[in-house]
Amino acid sequence: MKDSPIMCTFMIVDATFNVVNLLFNHALVFDNLIMTGKNALNAGLLLATLASGAAFLSASPDAPAASVKALSAAAMLSGLLGAHLTASIGGADMPVVITLLNSYSGYALAAEGFTLNNDLLTTVGALIGSSGAILSYIMCKAMNRSLANVILGGYGNSKPHVSAAPFSLTQNVNNGSDGSSDGFLPRIHKEIDPEGAASLLLEAKSVVIVPGFGMAVANAQHIVALLVKELQKAGVKVRFGIHPVAGRMPGQMNVLLAEAGVPYDIVYEMEEINPELQHTDVALVIGANDTVNSAALEDPSSVIAGMPVIEVWNAKTVIFMKRSMGVGYAGADNPVFYKPCTSMLLGDAKQKSEALLSAIKQAMSIKS
């Protein structure tokens, strides 16, 4: 019974983590909770939970009511702690939260094994807990972050970050002979329609598709798979580039593509696809933003500085398929939107993918 507070704490924290994470994943909650002194609140909830656990352990066997109250208080405080911790984490960090949940469930199972004196539960719980912790470390390393930075306050916890020049959303305009600045003009992006994008894709010899959470939300993976088949029929070499933290959970893009019937041998990890982008005619980005943001490598002042990204801007042409020109979950502007080689195909990923597929089929029928 002495392990009951530990088991209860991890189980309740894990449960509330999952509930809040579910709300994020189903787009029922879009913004993370921003509160002044949130870390102090988390520390207070943790101390109160520990105090309730201590009260449970020190309660007299002759006073079961006190034990129940202490354990109930620990459960309630653990629930609040789990919900508040997860709600304060930005959407870009959800992959790390998922792996952390796996770890917590293992710790709860190990504590239950100690409580029931069951070696099997303890062993399995230890394996789950350690594997979740290792995966959390790997995910944090892929984002160039520390676990403490993710849990205590990471991306998306501040106002959108405007990168420093020359990567800002405005460019300096000099009209004077002395080089003085007369003001700023907004950096202009270039848009393209599905027919124009279809033409670029069919003229290309090699295409790399980089999916992101926008594709998952729009449930566009099946249309994208059909798009790949049509391009392959036209003799275009098509590959996918997957970022380790693309989507809201580890491996989400791989699962979605496998579900849609995309051959695994054309799906490449970030480290494998980056060297190939220099020899790629078209990079098609579907619903991704932070994972293809050049500011991570080019702007030391960016909130995502140092984060490994897929370097789509090295391709001859880049087509972004996304809902709007807005920033990603990290709140960082993406300079790739404004590069001369980039065209924006704005709108819902599924609708635009369908329009693009239709345009490709029409263009191929005309050629034949």
Q: Which residues are catalytic?
A: 290
- Amino acid in position 14: D
Instruction: Give the chain's radius of gyration (CA, Å).
Output: 25
- Measure the CA dihedral 162/166/171/174, to 10°: 140
φ/ψ region of 183 (left if φ > 0, alpha if ψ in -120 to 50, else beta) reads left
Beta strands in 69-202 (DSSP E): 170-174, 181-186
DSSP code of 332? B
| Separation of alpha carbons 39 and 84, rounded Å | 10
Residue 229 is classified by DSSP as H
Provide the terminal-to-terminal Cα distance of the chain, rounded to the nearest Å: 75
Which residues are bridge partners to 286 per DSSP?
211, 321
323 and 349 Cβ atoms separated by less than 8 Å: yes
Q: How far apart are CA 244 and CA 329, in angstroms?
A: 16
How many whole angstroms separate alpha carbon 135 and alpha carbon 341?
36
- For the chain, list the strands marked E by DSSP: 170-174, 181-186, 206-211, 237-242, 267-269, 282-286, 317-322, 342-346
3-state secondary structure of 355: helix
Burial status of residue 309 (CB atoms within 10 A of its CB: 0-12, 13-18, 19 or more): buried
Structure-token pair, residue 277: 């982008």
- What's the number of CA atoms in the CB half-sphere (13 Å) around residue 143? 26
